[in-house]
Each structure stands twice: as structure tokens, then as C-alpha cells.
């Protein structure tokens, strides 16, 4: 059975603060200031959300993927829609080059089809429940749009842990010491652990009292971008890995 994937990209990004960029207005040709939404903030020439999308799309246990936007992230929504169009064009072109039938191409495109759904933008929990109910989802992997070091194998591992533990939901957490070693101040610590932002829920069986904790010290799951300082630390980690 394939899990549904949700990439949450509808938050206000208030902890990050305002990130301003100077761009050329296409209509007037003048340079203007533009506030950048966190999911499309550029890191190493790629928008943050691209890392999460690549990871969840490549996970073996994940089928359909939805990006959850909101009225607060309209630019992100436009970016994802362009991303989807370009991906479908590439796959169709590849299919024509390989001389496959149209039905076969459509089947491949739909197998991991990324879709956009707009939630009300009333907070993480409200928007998540809204999407689960609106789409009638069952077992669902939920990841944030700002976890750039997450890999497909990390998501598959979390799903394996969920199935092993046998609870209706699962939350991935890391010991607070992991963040201290990285020089990061976490925004939420509970019982000595920090949420990684990756969760699994069963939309058909939402039971808050049946949640398992998946404890890990994987650095890849600790690098959630909430502040500009987090972004600076991540850039240092990436630079060190490239040396």
C-alpha cells in the first residue's frame, strides 16, 4: 500500500522574518522590492521546497503527493504549478522519444503526480486536518517545505518505523543535544526532544492518544529552517560537505 505525501507550504514564516529581494518588474522594467516566501527561498540555487519535493517524490512507499499552500503563500503556489507543468512536459517528451503509447505515459505521470491544494491558512494543525478531510486521506506522510537535507531513504525509513510500531500516528523527534551541537536554538523543546517536522497520520483514524515517537539523531532531519540563523548554519554544513 502506498502512503500519500503532503508537503506543508502554507505557513506565514513569521519566525524567519521578512526576506527581501530586488527584482525587475516585467511590466514596468523597474527594479522593485519583493518579499520572498520561505518555501521558495533559494538555497544553493534551488528553492527550499524543491528539496522536500525531490525527497518525498523519490520515496518508494509514497504514491500521490500534494503540496499544501494557503492564501499566505500564493507565490509558492504559482511556483509549484509551473514546476508541475514542466515536469509533465519532460515526461511526455521522454515518453515520445521512447515511443511509448499515450496511455502508458499518462499512467507514469499520474503514478507520482504532484498536485496543489490550498488550505485556509489558519495554522498547521487546522490546515492539515482540513486537507485530510477534504481529500478523504488515509495513511499520510507529512513533511515541511523547509527540510532541505531530508532524503527519500529517510522518508522510507520513517514509514518502516511507523509500520513496525503499529500506532495510528507517528512523530519524528530528535534529542535537544543534537541541535546544541549544531549551534541551533530549537523553537520547541518538549521532554528533551525537538520535533523534526515529519509526521505520519491516518486520516481515517485520528487518535491523539495513539501516537508513537520515532527518536533519531539523523542530522538531515534536524536542519529545519525557521530563522535566518538556521539558514546560515545549514549553508556552513553544505559547504563543509562539499569540501
| CATH-assigned architecture of domain 3-242 | Alpha-Beta Complex (3.90)
pLDDT exceeds 50 at position 23: no
Q: What is the pLDDT of residue 233?
A: 76
CA 221-121-111 angle, to 5 degrees, is: 60
Are 134 and 115 a contacting pair, CB within 8 Å? no
- Kindly give the residue spans of alpha helices, DSSP state H, lying in 34-187: 48-58, 74-97, 102-111, 124-135, 152-165, 176-182
Task: Return the higher-pLDDT residue of 225 and 91.
Answer: 225
* Count of CA atoms in the C-beta half-sphere (13 A) of 51: 25
Q: String of b and e for 174-191 (b: at least 16 CB within 10 Å)?
A: bbbebbeebebebeeeee
Q: Which three cell numbers stand for residue 75?
A: 507565490
Residue 46 confidence class, pLDDT cut points 50, 70, 90:
confident
Q: What is the pLDDT of residue 76?
A: 92
Q: At what angle do helices 152-165 and 48-58 cross, to 10 degrees?
A: 60
User: Average pLDDT for residues 202-207, to the nearest whole number?
Assistant: 90
Looking at per-residue pLDDT, the higher value among 19 and 124 belongs to 124
Q: What's the pLDDT band for 18 if we cut at 50, 70, 90?
A: low
| Chain centroid, CA 5 distance in Å | 9
Alpha-carbon distance 161 to 84, whole Å?
Answer: 30
Give pLDDT tens digits for 87-133. 777 766 766 666 655 555 555 544 557 899 999 999 999 999 999 99
Nearest of 208, 171, 188, 150 to residue 15 by alpha carbon: 188
Q: Burial, 221: exposed, middle or buried (Cβ in 10 Å; 0-12, 13-18, 19+)?
A: buried
pLDDT (tens digit, 9 = 90+) per residue, 147-162? 999 999 999 999 999 9
The band of 237, judged by pLDDT with boundaries at 50, 70 and 90, is confident
Residue 52 φ then ψ, to 5°: -65, -40
Amino acid at each position: 500500500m502506498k502512503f500519500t505525501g503532503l508537503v506543508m507550504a502554507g505557513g506565514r514564516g513569521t519566525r524567519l522574518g521578512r526576506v527581501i529581494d530586488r527584482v525587475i518588474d516585467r511590466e514596468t522594467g523597474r527594479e522593485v522590492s519583493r518579499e520572498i516566501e520561505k518555501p521558495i527561498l533559494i538555497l544553493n540555487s534551488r528553492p527550499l521546497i524543491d528539496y522536500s519535493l525531490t525527497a518525498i517524490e523519490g520515496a518508494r512507499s509514497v504514491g500521490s503527493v500534494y503540496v499544501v499552500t494557503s492564501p499566505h503563500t500564493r507565490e509558492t503556489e504559482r511556483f509549484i504549478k509551473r514546476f508541475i507543468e514542466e515536469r509533465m512536459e519532460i515526461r511526455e517528451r521522454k515518453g515520445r522519444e521512447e515511443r511509448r503509447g499515450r496511455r502508458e505515459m499518462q499512467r507514469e505521470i499520474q503514478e507520482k503526480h504532484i498536485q496543489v491544494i490550498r488550505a485556509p491558512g489558519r495554522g498547521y494543525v487546522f490546515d492539515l486536518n482540513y486537507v485530510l478531510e477534504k481529500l478523504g486521506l488515509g495513511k499520510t506522510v507529512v513533511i515541511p517545505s523547509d527540510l532541505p537535507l531530508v532524503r527519500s531513504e529517510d522518508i522510507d525509513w520513517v514509514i518502516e518505523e511507523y509500520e513496525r510500531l503499529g500506532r495510528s500516528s507517528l512523530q519524528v523527534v530528535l534529542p535537544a543535544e543534537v541541535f546544541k551541537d549544531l549551534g541551533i536554538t530549537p523553537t520547541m523543546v518538549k521532554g528533551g526532544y525537538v520535533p523534526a517536522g515529519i509526521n505520519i497520520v491516518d486520516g481515517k483514524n485520528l487518535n491523539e492518544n495513539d501516537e508513537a515517537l520515532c527518536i533519531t539523531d539523523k542530522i538531515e532531519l534536524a536542519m529545519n529552517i525557521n530563522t535566518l540563523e538556521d539558514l546560515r548554519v545549514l549553508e556552513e554544513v553544505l559547504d563543509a560537505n562539499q569540501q
